[in-house]
Copies of this chain bind each other. A is one copy, B any other.
Amino acid sequence: MKVGILGGGQLARMLALAGHPLGIECVVLDPAPDACAHVAASHIVGAYEDRPSLEQLVRVADVVTYEFENVPAPSVRLLEEHLPVYPPSEALALSRDRLTEKELFRDLGIPVVPFVAVDSLEALREAVDALGLPALVKTRCLGYDGKGQVLLRSREEIPDAWEALGGAPAILEGFAEFSREISIVALRSRAGEIAFYPVSENTHQGGILHYSCSTDSDPRQREAEDMAGSLLERLGYVGILALELFDTPRGLVANEMAPRVHNTGHWTIEGAGVSQFENHLRAVAGLPLGDTSRKGHSGMVNFIGVAPAQEAVLKIPHSHYHSYGKAPRPGRKIGHGTICAPSRESLLRGLEYLRELAPLVR
Residues on A close to B: CB < 8 A?
13, 17, 20-23, 25, 39-40, 273-274, 282, 286-288, 290-291, 295-296, 307, 310-311, 314-315, 317-318, 320-323, 325, 335, 340
Contact = CB atoms under 8 A, between A and B. Distances in A.
A290 to B, nearest CB: 7
Contacts of A296: 295
Contact of A310 (B22, B314, B315, B323): B22
B20 A325 contact: yes
Contacts of A288: 311, 314-315
Contacts of A317: 291
Contacts of A325: 20, 23, 25
Contacts of A39: 20, 25, 40
Complex copy number for this chain: 2
Given A21-B320, A323-B21, A323-B22, A287 B273 contact: no
Most buried by B among A39, A311, A315: A39
Given A23-B307, A39-B40, A291-B318, 12 more contacts: A17-B17, A21-B320, A22-B323, A23-B310, A23-B321, A23-B323, A23-B335, A25-B39, A282-B314, A288-B311, A288-B315, A291-B317
A310 B13 CA distance: 22
A22 B307 CA distance: 12
